[in-house]
Structure 1
Amino acid sequence: MKSKGREYREARITLLGAGPGDPELITLKGLKALESADVVLYDALIGDKLLDYVPAHAIKVYVGKRSGDHSYSQEVVNRLMIDYALNFGHVVRLKGGDPFVFGRGYEELEFARQHDVPVTVIPGISSSIGVPGLQQIPVTHRGLSESFWVVTGTTASGTVSKDIYIAAQSEATVIVLMGLKKLSEIVAIFMSEGKHQLPVAIIQSGSTDNEKTVCGCVSDIVEKSKEAQIGAPALLVFGEVVSLHPAFKKVIKNYASVIGEG
């Protein structure tokens, strides 16, 4: 249907992953999608610089959900996405990280399908892999880790994910998203498996100007995170691969030096 006084544009949606925070980590295909947008519905943690690529005529709508701020429910976001597409044309649903890694991207894809609006998915760099990598922590490494888990720290019911109990029993690298508030509980789970000396890293605001990292072991990471005043958003990395981080290797070297002097 052609709107009076406005050029008709075909309704379509692009689910776009923006990456972990640094605007330069978005894909080239993602930038092209932003440059062709008529409407951008963007989440929290999206760098303002990315919005500079959006055409001047495009409508920009913040629909982010952060801790303590749920102004837009998922149902409202779904409806806005469809309404804007039908009335204005190309809607870019801009999400942090990757749309399909704890991003509820598939729910939005399904809703669009139910309303016969075509959807294109453009993946983004997931913070679960990209952020540790930027800190020189590989999620897998020969001789240290053959696999990795990506787990949410807090479920919809507000409890620690049951998967963490299983992951803590494995030798895999365990990356926990949205788990900082549950750090003490998560640490207790690893302690119960006898992994007191397992290396741990906490990375706050990875890839951004506010990035901060603290390394330690399961036994002391809670105290170290408090001393470093680590805040959300942050991800947790449990695993022997953390021992490869320069800061962790420095701590071990200093410790060995003290023991040697003793």
Structure 2
Amino acid sequence: MIRPSTDPASLPISLQALTPAFAVGEVWLVGAGPGDPGLLTLHAVNALAQADAIVYDALVDPRVLGLARPGTLLEFAGKRGGKPSPQQADITRRLIALAREGRRVLRLKGGDPFVFGRGGEEALALVEAGIPFRIVPGVTAGLGGLASALIPATTRGTNQAVVLATGHAAAGSEEDLDWAALARLRQPLVLYMAVANLPRIADALMAGGADPATPVAIVASATLPSEQILETTLDAAAEALAAAGIAAPSIVAIGSIVGLRARLRGLTEGMTA
């Protein structure tokens, strides 16, 4: 029996054959992943190659924008906490206006557009405006960033769930989470936008019954050459964070999964020694 060759070189598959065409007047909401351009999906690379206008967020690596066609309109629409930022309504109106001009509009977001990326809000607005759109998922930082830092989101025998949450809300606000309830789950937490509020969150978790010795990892600039990883414990997190001077963008992992990093690091360092 003759089997077909499995040599990739013998399979003449083009990028265009694998990905959909980007029609004029469409808006694609595309996830750029956690930072490293190598983590872009094929659909994302295809969108960059076809777009006439790219409206991008602050967390998009400049090397990703370098994949755009020459002459593509690039518009910054980044939001950063505590700094003057474009209003969401203005961003949405701009997407609609560019599409109505007959452009292929790429809304480029860090991570995944539907994971704390306001992609759902923008998609709803496009529907109401009658603008055709496509969602291109990306590697969300809460999973890809941890994997890059050798922290598995789940492992058999360690956890049965993982909670993705935002730590952005102010204490006492209607949007703030019930941290005591999350502490009682006894499952790992992966927090986005939590660095500024981490001291308060840690106190709230411990007040809710979380063990003060619970491992914590803070991963800043995940997957990038400037990546920083701080390992500490829940009771020491605030002091360790202040001493290290780590700032956003960062992902915070809290729970037993963090303890696996030391074992994986030991194995990988031994393999490369």
Q: Does TM, normalized by the shorter one, top 0.5? A: yes
Query: For residue 51 of structure 1, what is the aligned residue in structure 2?
Result: 65
Cα distance in 1 for residues equivalent to 2:201 and 2:195: 9
TM-score (norm 1): 0.87
1:248 Cα deviation from its structure 2 partner = 10
- The one-character-per-residue Cα deviations of 1:133-180 (angstroms, maximum 9, x if unpaired) are 111111111111110001100227884722433211112110111111
Cα distance in 1 for residues equivalent to 2:252 and 2:189: 8
Q: State the identity %.
A: 32
Task: Flag structure 2 segments of 5+ consecutive residues without an equivalent.
Answer: 1-22, 267-273
Q: Secondary structure at the match of 1:180?
A: coil
Cα distance in 2 for residues equivalent to 1:136 and 1:167: 24
1:190 Cα deviation from its structure 2 partner = 2.1
- The correspondence for 2:127, drawn from 113, 118, 122, is 113
Does residue 200 in structure 1 map to residue 216 in structure 2? yes
Cα distance in 2 for residues equivalent to 1:71 and 1:214: 29
Query: For residue 98 of structure 2, what is the aligned residue in structure 1?
Result: 84
Cα distance in 2 for residues equivalent to 1:247 and 1:222: 25
Query: For residue 236 of structure 1, what is the aligned residue in structure 2?
Result: 252
Query: For residue 60 of structure 1, what is the aligned residue in structure 2?
Result: 74
Q: Secondary structure at the match of 1:14?
A: strand
1:144 touches 1:240 (CA, 8 Å); kept in 2? yes
Does residue 152 in structure 1 map to residue 166 in structure 2? yes
1:10 Cα deviation from its structure 2 partner = 2.8
Does residue 188 in structure 1 map to residue 212 in structure 2? no
Cα distance in 2 for residues equivalent to 1:200 and 1:157: 21
2:217 touches 2:230 (CA, 8 Å); kept in 1? yes
1:206 touches 1:234 (CA, 8 Å); kept in 2? yes
Q: Secondary structure at the match of 1:19?
A: coil
Question: What one-letter code is carried by the residue in structure 2 that aligns with 1:40?
Answer: I
Query: For residue 3 of structure 1, what is the aligned residue in structure 2?
Result: none
Q: Secondary structure at the match of 1:78?
A: helix
2:53 touches 2:74 (CA, 8 Å); kept in 1? yes
RMSD of equivalent CA atoms: 2.0
1:97 touches 1:126 (CA, 8 Å); kept in 2? yes
Cα distance in 2 for residues equivalent to 1:61 and 1:88: 16
TM-score (norm 2): 0.84
Write out aligned runs for 1:171-182 (5 A): 171-182=186-197
- The correspondence for 1:132, drawn from 131, 146, 154, is 146
Query: For residue 165 of structure 1, what is the aligned residue in structure 2?
Result: 180
